[in-house]
Structure 1
Amino acid sequence: MVDVIEDAPRWLSVCFYGDMISDPEDMGDFVPEGLLGEDAMCFDIDRWDDHLIAYVESRMDEAWQYAGTP
């Protein structure tokens, strides 16, 4: 789930079901029952950070691969 948080300034919250991704650099926030009652891992992007954006993109690739496995 991707959500634009309307705050000052705006920021982006990107959340995954906890079992869909890894977080090898421990950059995410674990949210118990945070996504439709399931455990989630969320990443907040509140400024342009090339490393964080690339890291979240890698998590998206990982989730896509997980979703495609039977």
Structure 2
Amino acid sequence: MKGDIHVMPATGKRWAVDVESTEQSVVFYDTEQEAIDAGKAKARRNQVELLIHGLDGRVRERDMHGRNPRKNWG
């Protein structure tokens, strides 16, 4: 299974897009919106979940792409 995509604040007022559980490099963006747009596109392509973190580091938004967790709930 491919790793979920995380959009999170990085140092120097930049934003990072990271792929969970892979050796892919973290990609940095100058704005939050650029990072979110890139993360959404990558999550759609890979059919994984996008998790957007706030400045406090906590997940503030989740977006599922290609997976329906309700199908696994019995």
- TM-score normalised over the length of structure 2: 0.38
Structure with higher helix content: 2
What TM-score, normalized by structure 1, do the two folds share? Answer: 0.39
